[in-house]
Homo-oligomer: A and B are copies of this chain.
Amino acid sequence: MLPEIKPIPLEVKRGPAEHVRRLQVINAAWKHFGDHGYEKTSVAALAKDIGVSSTYLYRFFDSKQSIGEAVCSEALAQIAKKLIAVQKGSGSSFQKIRDVFQTLLTNGYAMFLKDRQMHELVATAISHNWECVQNHREVIRSVLQSIIEQGRHAQAFERKTPIDEVVKGLFVAITPFANPLLLQQRNLEELEDAARAMSGLVLRSLAP
């Protein structure tokens, strides 16, 4: 969930600019999907619940899917932000690799499993390959690439293997911890154990 959801000022003539209002709609939709599920929600029901007209919603989003994509985008952006913080952090490249696995697992688990409805929305997004999912994959790929480059620069990682090949392998290695469908098949303890085993394997593969 987003940190706080403020009531939407319905009749504000001035005040929040369009993009702020849009964010408020996304916040409210997030909460609504969280309570009722994305698939079962209609734009009319959503509008009614948050106290605006469907027409008002259509000022910002041209379809229910657009609202779903925006909510999904916000959800994934929160994970992306944490991954970028890991990449920019001051730890060793080794530690950063471990932290990427842990960050994906902890946040994915919290978001997709504690919040079943968000899990459903992201599963829909993945199976239809929504743009928010493609963008999220790109963020993960670029975070991995930067960490590998840092590690190579610091001579902590081997440099023989073409970096594209390394990044591709790492991207596959994080799959079991980034995919809500897989996260739901295991409990947190098993997943943390698996993430430790996988990051250990990855680090051995990166050693000079």
Interface of A is mostly: helix
Q: What is the copy number of this chain in the assembly?
A: 2
Q: Does A141 contact B (CB under 8 A)?
A: no
Q: Are B197 and A169 in contact (CB under 8 A)?
A: yes
Q: Does A194 contact B (CB under 8 A)?
A: yes
- Which of the listed residues A161, A172, A197 has the most CB atoms from chain B within 10 Å of its own CB? A172
Q: Does A204 contact B (CB under 8 A)?
A: yes
Smallest CB-CB separation from A179: which chain B residue?
A: B182
Q: Are A161 and B204 in contact (CB under 8 A)?
A: yes
Q: Are B127 and A201 in contact (CB under 8 A)?
A: no
Q: Does A78 contact B (CB under 8 A)?
A: no
Q: What distance in Å separates the Cβ of A181 from its nearest Cβ neighbour in chain B?
A: 5
Q: Does A175 contact B (CB under 8 A)?
A: yes
The 4 closest A-B pairs by CB, nearest first: A169-B201, A205-B205, A168-B197, A204-B205
